[in-house]
């Protein structure tokens, strides 16, 4: 029962559409009407600019962290506490990608999954973040870095678990989140293979609505 409740709470936290809110507040637009039609930081960067995108990114990271911490706080005495934390973190990604508050639309879950991963296994993030940053810098493809990070997270977390620096629930979370994030990038993968994926720095033209 604790796993189910943690998942429900995690979903509701993850479903808060910060990208949509910031788009409305800063430019008076619906972020889903532009670019990738997603509400995450990458589309916010192309559409709203650096400062708004940074705010979206940090708030989406905070959703993942908050979901995991909430799962732990509510079920701290439960022997399955780390599993409830993992369930809450995974549910936050689902909420972010398919938010009930905005018609089951949303982002791709990268920032939210990273936040929850940091709360589950901080050393995974410490190792993974510079690798992802390097991939994005060298390729200029945010999607390539995001997908590589998603696929690399369970491998790194598993390696850390071998030396006692990560838990089995953290591995399960990393695997589940990696699958969710990779699946959300299906269209990016197709464009990367076709050579039509947009690189970082390309702006989206935003018109005015009458």
Cα-based distances in Å from 37 to 52, 106, 183: 16, 8, 16
If you ran DSSP here, which 8-state letter would residue 109 be given? S
Beta bridge partners of 105: 99
Under 8 Å CB-to-CB from 56, ≥6 apart: which residues? 18, 19, 22, 39, 40, 41, 44, 48, 111
Residue 110 pLDDT > 50:
yes
pLDDT tens digits, 78-104: 778 999 999 999 999 999 999 999 999
What does pTM read for this prediction? Answer: 0.93
């Amino acid at each position: 029962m604790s796993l189910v409740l943690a998942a429900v709470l995690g979903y509701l936290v993850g479903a808060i559409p910060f990208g949509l809110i910031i788009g409305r507040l800063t430019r008076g637009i619906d972020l889903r009407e532009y670019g990738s039609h997603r509400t995450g930081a990458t589309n916010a960067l192309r559409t709203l600019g650096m400062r708004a995108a940074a705010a979206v990114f940090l708030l989406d990271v905070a959703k993942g962290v908050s979901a995991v911490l909430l799962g732990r706080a509510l079920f701290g005495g439960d022997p399955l506490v780390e599993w409830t934390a993992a369930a809450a973190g995974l549910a936050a990604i689902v909420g972010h990608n398919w938010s009930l508050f905005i018609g089951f639309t949303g982002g791709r879950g990268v920032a939210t999954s990273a936040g929850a991963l940091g709360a589950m296994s901080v050393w995974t993030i410490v190792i993974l973040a510079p690798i992802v940053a390097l991939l994005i810098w060298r390729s200029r493809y945010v999607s390539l870095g995001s997908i590589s990070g998603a696929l690399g997270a369970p491998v790194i977390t598993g390696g850390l678990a071998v030396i006692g620096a990560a838990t089995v629930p953290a591995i399960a979370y990393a695997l589940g989140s990696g699958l969710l994030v990779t699946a959300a990038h299906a269209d990016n993968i197709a464009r990367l293979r076709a050579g039509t994926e947009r690189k970082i720095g390309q702006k989206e033209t935003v018109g005015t609505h009458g």
